[in-house]
Amino acid sequence: MDPQLIRTTHQLLQVVENIWHRTNQYIQATCDTDLSGVGAAMSTIFILFCSLASLHGVASQGKPPGITDPLVPQIRYIAAKDSICLTCKAEGNPTPKYTWYRNGTEISSNQYQKVDADTGALEIPDFSGREAGDYRCGATNNISQGVSPLAMSPAISLKEIRHATGWTKSGQIEHIIASEGEYAKLECNNVTHGDPKLPFSWFLKSSKDADQLRESNRTYIDERGTLHFIYVEPSDKTSGDDVYNCAIYNKVQDYIKLGNAKRLTVREVTVKPERKPRIQFKTSPAEFQIGQTAELECVFSGYPLPSIQWFNIRNEPINPGGRYQMDKHNMKLKIAKLTEKDEGLYRCKGENTLGEAESTIFLDVKSGPIWEKAITNLTVPEGRDASFTCKARPAINEKALEPPVWYKNWERIQKTTGNIIFRDEGRVLTVTQPTKPDDIMCFQCQITNDIGSVFSNGCLNVIKPIEVTTQPLLKQGTKKGDLVNLTVRGTTDPGMTLRYRWEFKKHTYYTGLPPHVVYDDVTKQTYINTTSLSDEEYRQIEGTYTGVLYHDFETLRVDIDVTIGQETAPIVVAPAAFPSWVIILVVLFVVLLVLLVLAFIAMSRKKEEGAYKIYKTELDVTYLDPDDDIQKGKFQEVTKIENTDLYDGKNDAGP
């Protein structure tokens, strides 16, 4: 179809929509008018028009989609061959339809994945690495012809569980020798990690059986899988075919992967020598992200067994409680829900009767971009600029961030276009002079660094503004005995509920009215009748009365200044709504009159189809008594006259 024709048609539809909206405002303004003096027919017509206005209001309550689930990013690990179902929920009017995207590309239903556009479900019956990736749900609805805003959810990252494949086998059993009371360690060499990372354990394996080693105050398994003996005892040694094996144990899927075998020989001594504490292992590097739980480890050797104390970045002793927890005989410090303020130097100290030793660990708290202001849903009256701010910052001591990437209905926006402009180095997007429904749309913004990214979605809903349909004179002088008119009424978008309140002399009246102000339910008028007021009460009515028309997204104020002791200000009855009443009644009357005339003409023509045609010669006949003509046969003689031309009024010479 011709693009110009499409644009012209769209403009025409927009004009019709605007005309209907204005007409609807007039109808709504008169629907609460007293009809007691109007005839039954006109009352019926008015009720019909008010009903049409109400139906139009219901149909006009378009609302862009808003996703209610999922609301936060997720990472989910899925085993191969497992089935998975992702769900998405959104609100909006009309009811939204759903699409799913993988790594930014829309998904089409096939044998590997099925999308239900009505329920928002995405089914993957046989998951594999082929389906791994970042998934986003999209919700869209049809607000108007050619206007279909698309909201996007945060990403759900699906990852395939990768099992640890074991260790590189050396073919030889490593042999460790230590004297009783000395420190010893068995390393978990050449480990191949899975995803997600699984915890380590150790087994003491014989030719017949394998028993998992239970940690004690003398033994500790660190984050790398190394088994530390704070000091060894003769009972720790292996004999015969016994060996120690590092292992990864998956409790969920119930499998164990064993590493290279180790043998431990303990030389016994007559007197176990005492040794002062010495640091043998600490967490390095200690890098954790905001929101995670940091786990800091310090392993001290020594005999007698050292006690361990932790100190925070202010060099204050840390006591267990709140976000701080100790584990494995204080060899591990856990800090939950990390914040930027947790970054810094932590100190651990080991102490026994022979002395003490200490070490420091720098906790580096890293983060993806941190929101300062994310975009959210925004509703504005037509014609008022709408701005979306997408602003984030890096974590302390991290690199500066690149400007955000913007999308409109999930299509990339790279520069100012149409009535969309960018400010503040691309952090603020503004839609200028939006109109309903053309500028109802959804925006997405994403900011990324080397740690991660943040994403937000915000939809713009444009509504018709509040308009005052009835207001009195804004400056009114009054004398005792006058009526002071304070009637204020208005209309707004059909999807909004218009509310009213009054302000007078620094007081706000949400439910009642200012002193001496009366509202008449029959005439729908608000006024002050000064006739019954005392002189003191009359003096109190002077001031500024503010009628406030408002809803959640707009407020309109009408200030009415009332002064006393001046000329009477006559009460004006619904000045803005009254003309619409007259106009609508006149239009309806004219339409009905035209219909009646057309019906009368049609009926007249219908009757003429069987009428007898009068000829000129018949008019020349002087007999005017039809009954006498019939009796005397004169009628038959007239019908035999040869000249049968229709009488046209020409050459009529008379009798």
Cα–Cα distance, 230 to 304 (Å, whole number) = 10
Share of the chain above pLDDT 70, in %: 76
Q: Is 50 exceeded by the pLDDT of residue 576?
A: no
Q: Is 90 exceeded by the pLDDT of residue 29?
A: no
Q: State whether 410 and 431 are in the same domain.
A: yes
**Residue 11: what are its φ and ψ, rounded to 5°?**
-65, -40
Within a domain: residue 647?
no
Cα–Cα distance, 306 to 355 (Å, whole number) = 9
Q: In this predicted structure, what is the pLDDT of residue 242?
A: 92
Secondary structure (DSSP) of 26-91: HHHHHTTS--TTS-HHHHHHHHHHHHHHHHHHHHT--EEEEEEE--S-EEEEE-TT--EEE--EEE
Cα–Cα distance, 488 to 526 (Å, whole number) = 8
> What's the sign of the alpha-carbon dihedral 310, 316, 318, 323?
negative
Q: Is 50 exceeded by the pLDDT of residue 144?
A: yes
Q: In which residue are the tokens 């002079």 written? A: 433
Categorize the per-residue pLDDT at 265 as very low, low, confident or very high, splitting at 50, 70 and 90: very high
3-class SS string, 345-371: EEEEEEEECCEEEEEEEEEEEECCCEE
Categorize the per-residue pLDDT at 612 as very low, low, confident or very high, splitting at 50, 70 and 90: very low
Answer yes or no: are the C-beta atoms of 461 and 431 closer than 8 Å. no
Share of the chain above pLDDT 90, in %: 65
Q: In this predicted structure, what is the pLDDT of residue 62?
A: 86
Q: In this predicted structure, what is the pLDDT of residue 278?
A: 97
What average pLDDT score do residues 424-431 get? 96
- 465-486: b (≥16 Cβ within 10 Å) or e: bbebbbbbbeebbbeeebbbbb
Q: State whether 457 and 490 are in the same domain.
A: no
Q: State whether 489 and 571 are in the same domain.
A: yes
Categorize the per-residue pLDDT at 652 as very low, low, confident or very high, splitting at 50, 70 and 90: very low
Categorize the per-residue pLDDT at 645 as very low, low, confident or very high, splitting at 50, 70 and 90: very low
Q: State whether 457 and 471 are in the same domain.
A: no
What average pLDDT score do residues 507-512 get? 95
Within a domain: residue 132?
yes
Categorize the per-residue pLDDT at 56 as very low, low, confident or very high, splitting at 50, 70 and 90: very low
Q: State whether 478 and 553 are in the same domain.
A: yes
Q: State whether 382 and 406 are in the same domain.
A: yes
Q: State whether 418 and 487 are in the same domain.
A: no
Between the CA atoms of 647, 651, 654 and 655, what dihedral angle is there, to the nearest 10 degrees?
Answer: -80
Q: State whether 141 and 115 are in the same domain.
A: yes
| Among the ranges given (24-38, 65-79, 245-259, 516-530), the one the predictor scored with the smallest mean pLDDT | 24-38
Q: State whether 499 and 526 are in the same domain.
A: yes
The C-alpha angle 394, 395, 397, rounded to 5 degrees, equals 100
Nearest to 348 by CA among 278, 273, 265: 278
- How does pLDDT run across 429-453, given as a tens digit for each residue? 999 999 999 999 999 999 999 999 9
Q: Can you give the residue range of the structural domain that contains 471?
A: 467-575
Does pTM top 0.85 for this prediction?
no
The residue that leads in pLDDT, 430 or 6, is: 430
Report which listed range, 61-65, 80-84, 253-257, is most confident: 80-84
What average pLDDT score do residues 583-588 get? 64
Tell which of 128, 160, 192 closes a domain: 160
Tell which of 525, 549, 575 closes a domain: 575
Within a domain: residue 220?
no
Within a domain: residue 503?
yes
Cα–Cα distance, 582 to 548 (Å, whole number) = 27
Q: In this predicted structure, what is the pLDDT of residue 477?
A: 93
Distance of CA 106 to the CA centre of its chain: 20
Q: Is 50 exceeded by the pLDDT of residue 8?
A: no
What average pLDDT score do residues 158-187 get? 83
Within a domain: residue 303?
no
Tell which of 408, 441, 463 closes a domain: 463
DSSP letter at 511? S
Please name the residues in contact with 481: beta carbons below 8 A apart, sequence gap of 6 or more: 530, 531, 568
Residue 569 CB burial class (10 angstroms; 0-12, 13-18, ≥19) = buried
| Strand 74-78, strand 97-102: pairing | unpaired
Q: In this predicted structure, what is the pLDDT of residue 591?
A: 72
Q: In which residue are the tokens 């500028």 written? A: 439
Q: State whether 380 and 473 are in the same domain.
A: no
| Among the ranges given (49-58, 288-297, 384-393, 585-594), the one the predictor scored with the smallest mean pLDDT | 49-58
Categorize the per-residue pLDDT at 375 as very low, low, confident or very high, splitting at 50, 70 and 90: very high
Within a domain: residue 571?
yes
Give the CATH number, domain containing residue 558: 2.60.40.10
What average pLDDT score do residues 560-582 get? 58
Categorize the per-residue pLDDT at 25 as very low, low, confident or very high, splitting at 50, 70 and 90: very low
Q: In this predicted structure, what is the pLDDT of residue 161?
A: 86
What average pLDDT score do residues 292-308 get? 97
| Among the ranges given (194-198, 495-499, 562-566), the one the predictor scored with the smallest mean pLDDT | 194-198
Cα–Cα distance, 547 to 182 (Å, whole number) = 87
Within a domain: residue 526?
yes
Instruction: Indicate the number of domains in the chain.
Output: 3
Answer yes or no: are the C-beta atoms of 495 and 466 closer than 8 Å. no
What average pLDDT score do residues 402-428 get? 95
Answer yes or no: are the C-beta atoms of 383 and 435 closer than 8 Å. yes
Nearest to 443 by CA among 524, 357, 537, 377: 377
| Strand 324-327, strand 307-311: pairing | unpaired
What average pLDDT score do residues 114-124 get? 97
Q: State whether 502 and 447 are in the same domain.
A: no
Within a domain: residue 569?
yes
- How does pLDDT run across 447-501, given as a tens digit for each residue? 999 999 999 999 999 999 999 999 999 999 999 999 999 999 999 999 899 999 9
Please name the residues in contact with 561: beta carbons below 8 A apart, sequence gap of 6 or more: 474, 475, 476, 543, 544
Cα–Cα distance, 173 to 240 (Å, whole number) = 13
| Among the ranges given (188-197, 257-266, 374-383), the one the predictor scored with the smallest mean pLDDT | 188-197
Q: State whether 471 and 451 are in the same domain.
A: no
Secondary structure (DSSP) of 555-622: EEEEEEEEEESS---PPP--TTHHHHHHHHHHHHHHHHHHHHHHHHHHHHHHHHTTPPPPBHHHHH--
What average pLDDT score do residues 159-166 get? 76
Q: In this predicted structure, what is the pLDDT of residue 647?
A: 38
Paired tokens of 337: 């829900």
